[in-house]
Amino acid sequence: MHKMLEQLKFDGKRLIFRNYGFVFFSLLMPTAFYVLFTQINKGQIEMFSAEYMGSMIVYSILITAIMGVGNFMERDRNQGLITLLKITNRNLNHYYISICFWSLMMNIFTIIILGATAILINHVDLSVEQWFILLGLVLVGQLPLLLLGIAISNVKRQETLTILGNLITFPVAILSGLW
Amino acid sequence: MTNTIKVNKLKFSYGKKQVLREVNFEVQSGKVVGLIGENGAGKTTLLKILLGLLKTNSNVSILGHRPGTSQSVSSMFQGDLKLPSVNVLEILSEVAAQYPNPRKPQAVLEELNLADLARQRLNGLSGGQLRRITFAMTLVGNADLIFLDEPTVGMDVNARQDFWDNVSKLKNAGKTILITSHYLEEIQQTADQILILKDGKIEFDGTLNELQRRYLTTKISFETKLSKTIFAELKHVQSLKQMGEKIVINSTNGDATLQTLVPYLKELQHLNITDASLESIFQTITQKGENNA
């Protein structure tokens, strides 16, 4: 238990509180897009504000899982942190559980920020049940994306990872109508 | 004394390239072992196998367990962790948490005179500072068995001296330490056991005294304007190297060689005679292999 708590404490600082990439790409950028496009389309499409909030939440999760977590784990591998943990642990379960936990937290944080923006600026009004359904869908839906991010973190070169991340993220975002 | 490391008929290859041919050795508890070999001899591969990072079917035992399953092993690899969002104290706490009986990170930093670096980010440290922090990560686990791979690379002279003082303290505390290093004179001063890895096999396994007795070399060096060819006729010469006016001879019988140098004494300056060092023996072993090849 102590090992798990220490791992969570260690990764929480790195993934959330000192992760400026997350703040910019997963929070500020989707929020800015949301405000921009909802103001442009104001009143033109009913329920657009609420639906577009959902799109930007999914987009943020995609960026976090593929580009964020993928890069993060690749750097840990290349810097030798994974090797260091392997020497003493028989497996890396604590590490992976910690990464998944904080990814979940990052996504919950995204929902809070985007949700608050949607309520304050566009007066989006969802019922409590709808908010919980949104939360549940995000928590379940993030899992395959997180697995994809973990999978691509195993590439050897950082440049390859960036290309792969872009090749996955942007076609998925465009084809699934997030933008 | 129990065997901390036991390796029996270890073979390993990367695809078709055979790196370790048949490695056999044992290390007793509380010993400091120097593992030396040329670049590409297989030292790092051997270390990775002992740490459980590379799998093998061979019979290898670390603290009575299969490699990678004991929680009392720590290591210092050649590369350093340079994570951008982490400070020194945090990485030491993270490493300490992996061990059942760790030391306090702050205490380790104070012992190594690194307490003022505690709050500094890893990516803001110099190469030498990072190397010392990596050593601190090795100590904080309070492991019984410690692997050190080229530990003093990047350290200045004072830091290296501090490092070897700390290794002596670890030895006195009963830790078992296996070190690879190209600074052979440093290993010579500390190691109880020398392992020489050559062409994937253990060429020598024993103490430095046993090594010196086996290779019986005396190093004779001097400066002279005379041609190297004159000295090629000397007796008991194992190897002869000329660097400008300086000539270095490794001899299997220092007294006999010196006697044959007597006629030339007037032409020799800065004559220096030393017993075989680990470095000269290593050069002899590796050159012998090249000559045989």
For A42-71, give the DSSP string: TTTSTTHHHHHHHHHHHHHHHIIIIIIIHH
A89/B98 CB distance under 8 A: yes
Same domain for B61 and B198: yes
Contact between B122 and B88 (Cβ < 8 Å): yes
Q: Exposed e or buried b for every residue in B153-177, given b needs 16+ CB within 10 A? A: ebbeeebbebbbebbeebbeeebbb
Tally of structural domains, chain B = 2
Contact with chain B for residue A29, Cβ under 8 A: no
* Residue B252 DSSP class: S
* Alpha-carbon gap, residue A67 to A167, rounded angstroms: 11
* Phi, psi values for residue A4, rounded to 5°: -65, -45
Same domain for B62 and B15: yes
Region of residue B199 (phi > 0: left; psi between -120 and 50: alpha; otherwise: beta): left
Same domain for B256 and B144: no
Contact with chain A for residue B68, Cβ under 8 A: yes
Give pLDDT, residue A91. 73
Tally of structural domains, chain A = 1
Give pLDDT, residue B146. 94
> Which domain-ending residue is among B168, B195, B212?
B212
Give pLDDT, residue B290. 46
A79/B90 CB distance under 8 A: no
Mean pLDDT of A44-54: 79
CA distance B81 to chain A (A): 5
* Residue A16 DSSP class: I
A79/B85 CB distance under 8 A: no
> Which domain-ending residue is among B163, B189, B212?
B212
Secondary structure (3-state) at B118: coil
Contact with chain A for residue B83, Cβ under 8 A: yes
| Residue appearing with tokens 């044992």 | B26
Region of residue A38 (phi > 0: left; psi between -120 and 50: alpha; otherwise: beta): alpha
* Alpha-carbon gap, residue B40 to B208, rounded angstroms: 23
| Residue A27 burial (CB count, 10 A) | 19
User: Which chain B residue lies closest to A83 (C-alpha atoms)?
Assistant: B53
**A100 is in which domain, residue-wise?**
2-38+47-175
Give pLDDT, residue B292. 42
* Alpha-carbon gap, residue B45 to A123, rounded angstroms: 62
A81 closest CB neighbour out of B74, B81, B141: B81
Same domain for B241 and B152: no
CA distance B100 to chain A (A): 10
Q: Taking CB atoms and an 8 Å cutoff, what residues of chain A touch B73? A: 87-88
Q: Taking CB atoms and an 8 Å cutoff, what residues of chain B touch A79? A: 79, 81-83
Interacting residues of B132 by C-beta distance below 8 A, sequence separation 6+: B112, B114, B155, B159, B163
* Alpha-carbon gap, residue A65 to A33, rounded angstroms: 19
A18/B85 CB distance under 8 A: yes
Residue B282 lies in a domain: no
Give pLDDT, residue B265. 87
Same domain for B91 and B228: no
Same domain for B38 and B182: yes
A14/B51 CB distance under 8 A: no
Same domain for B191 and B138: yes
Same domain for B68 and B111: yes
> Which domain CATH number covers B247?
3.30.70.980
Contact between B79 and A80 (Cβ < 8 Å): yes
| Residue appearing with tokens 């190209």 | B182
CA distance A95 to chain B (A): 11
Contact between B166 and B112 (Cβ < 8 Å): yes
Contact with chain B for residue A1, Cβ under 8 A: no
Residue B208 lies in a domain: yes
Give pLDDT, residue B293. 38
Contact with chain A for residue B98, Cβ under 8 A: yes
Same domain for B186 and B232: no
Contact between A54 and A130 (Cβ < 8 Å): no
pLDDT tens-place values along chain B, 293 residues long: 577 899 999 999 998 889 999 899 999 999 999 999 888 888 889 999 999 899 888 889 888 888 888 878 999 987 778 888 899 999 999 999 989 899 999 999 999 999 999 999 998 999 889 999 999 999 999 999 999 998 888 888 888 888 999 999 999 999 999 999 877 778 888 899 999 998 889 989 999 888 877 776 788 899 998 887 887 778 788 788 888 889 988 887 888 888 888 888 898 999 998 876 777 777 777 765 444 43
Contact between B19 and B42 (Cβ < 8 Å): yes
> Which domain CATH number covers B29?
3.40.50.300
Contact between B173 and B166 (Cβ < 8 Å): no
B81/A79 CB distance under 8 A: yes
Same domain for B97 and B123: yes
B97/A3 CB distance under 8 A: yes
* Alpha-carbon gap, residue A135 to A129, rounded angstroms: 10
Q: Residue B158's closest CA among B168, B170, B166?
A: B166
Q: Taking CB atoms and an 8 Å cutoff, what residues of chain A touch B137? A: 84
Same domain for B185 and B51: yes
Instruction: Name the band, by pLDDT with cuts 50, 70 and 90, for residue A179.
Output: low
ipTM (interface pTM): 0.83
Contact between A112 and A60 (Cβ < 8 Å): no
Instruction: Name the band, by pLDDT with cuts 50, 70 and 90, for residue A51.
Output: confident
Same domain for B196 and B124: yes
A17: pLDDT strictly greater than 80 = yes
**B252 is in which domain, residue-wise?**
216-275
User: Which chain B residue lies closest to A17 (C-alpha atoms)?
Assistant: B85
A92: pLDDT strictly greater than 90 = no
Contact with chain A for residue B102, Cβ under 8 A: no
Contact with chain B for residue A4, Cβ under 8 A: no
Q: Taking CB atoms and an 8 Å cutoff, what residues of chain B touch A89? A: 98
Contact between B164 and B156 (Cβ < 8 Å): no
